[in-house]
Structure 1
Amino acid sequence: MKKFSLLWLLIFLVACQNAPLNQEDKGTVDGTFKAGSYKMLGDKGRIGFIESTFYAGEDQKYMWHFWGESSELDGSLLVKATHEKTGQEKKVLQVDALSGPNNTADAHIPSLMSLPESGIWLLDAYIGGDYFGTVTVKVYE
């Protein structure tokens, strides 16, 4: 009986590993990581903001954090959002300069952002005109 159960478990695991992704699974959302006493969403050691849920059409506060050399963190910040399925683009944040260290990050900035519709959005950050990183988020109705 044990051999039979183990065989079915093995078949199930192999089948799940090779199963195609459904449409919702194709949009990845960045993972979380710990920085200071906060849980962040983004790319650990590079870019992130304090984890929060996005709701379509609602302005919400987000504290962005950046890790890098001082030369990379010098200049204005521009964040452009792109909807993964529709390709809709929107400028969601623009500030003249970043603030200093916070929560283990080398720089940070508070923000108020809103995304117009539900789905997966790519938030591309540019500092001083240069691409810095992307945070991928899921927006709910």
Structure 2
Amino acid sequence: MLGNVRELGLIVEFKMDPKKTIIQLRSCLTKIVNAVVKIMFQIKSCTKEAIITPIKLMGVFYVKKHLVVLSLIIMVGLLVACSSNSNNESGNELEVSKEESEAQKISSKNDETIIEKNWELSPEFIHSVEYESGEKGAYEIRGNKDGMGITGPFPIMAKDSQKYMWFYFGSENIYDKPVKIKAIKKGEEDSFDVYSGTFFENAEVSPESVNMPSHLRFPSTGTWKVLVYIEEELFDTIIVKVE
């Protein structure tokens, strides 16, 4: 009985002689193993996992077929892994967005609490300074002695745009940071932008002063809360009366 095994041009022939069965089988298996090793070395993209793929040692060997199937399985696995990573990244981005949104909501609620909490007029006080020339001066201030205050034409008149100088009496360095001034009238819900600018050294009225020039205009009479935002965060408030 004659049997043939073909793989990459390899032909193994053997006769099923009862007396020589063992010898022929050994020779056949040796040639088959050599053929399999040759196939594996010729396939450069073969991985260790592919090398240990089960191989049928009886009949025709379908090594390439197994490798193709294994490659497809690996590709599907990689696609699933990439999809999973993408979903995880998207999930992380959504979580970050939710956290930022919650932080903004908390900040907004805190601002609303501050806006609604107190409507008592800010105190008036005199701020004394010494100029570079050695002369002394004084300013009438509306505001907070350890925070923000303004000086300018008093009383503040509605619908008139007037120049007001801002003073900062705190210890933080606020130079050259974006400042936004908003105002809201007592009994109303909506605020509006009044002025945008910065505190800068050349604006100082005296060597130890921190100042910002501005123009303020209030559309109507009443009690107004002036909101000072620095770098988009509520920094201080001043309550003034507009006549």
TM-score of the aligned structures, taking structure 2 as reference length: 0.43
Given the alignment of the two structures, is residue 134 of structure 1 paired with residue 226 of structure 2, yes or no? Answer: no
Given the alignment of the two structures, is residue 89 of structure 1 paired with residue 175 of structure 2, yes or no? Answer: no
User: For 1:29 and 1:104, how far apart are their aligned partners in 2?
Assistant: 29
1:40 counterpart SS class:
strand
Q: CA deviation at 1:105?
A: 6.0
Identity %: 25
Q: Deviations over 1:53-107 (max 9, x none)?
A: 2111111111111123343444111011011112231100101x21224458642
The equivalent of 2:20 in structure 1 is none
Q: Deviations over 1:6-34 (max 9, x none)?
A: xxxxxxxxxxxxxxxxxxxx952111112
The equivalent of 2:215 in structure 1 is 112
Q: 1:105 to 1:118 in 2, by over 3 A?
A: farther
Q: 1:106 to 1:126 in 2, by over 3 A?
A: farther
TM-score of the aligned structures, taking structure 1 as reference length: 0.71
2:121 counterpart SS class:
coil
Contact kept? 1:53, 1:139, Cα under 8 Å = yes
Q: 2:123 aligns with which of 21, 25, 31?
A: 31
- Aligned residues between the structures: 114
The equivalent of 1:99 in structure 2 is 200
Q: 1:88 to 1:45 in 2, by over 3 A?
A: same
Say which structure, 1 or 2, has more relative contact order (CA 8 Å, 6+ apart): 1
1:54 counterpart SS class:
coil
Q: 1:40 aligns with which of 141, 146, 163?
A: 141
The equivalent of 2:164 in structure 1 is 62
Q: Which has the higher strand share?
A: 1
Q: 1:113 to 1:90 in 2, by over 3 A?
A: same
Q: CA deviation at 1:126?
A: 1.1
The equivalent of 1:78 in structure 2 is 180
C-alpha RMSD of matched pairs (Å): 2.1
Gaps of 5+ in 2: 1-117, 129-137
Structure 1: 4+ residue segments shifted above 3 A: 69-74, 101-106
Q: Which has the higher helix share?
A: 2
Contact kept? 1:60, 1:114, Cα under 8 Å = yes
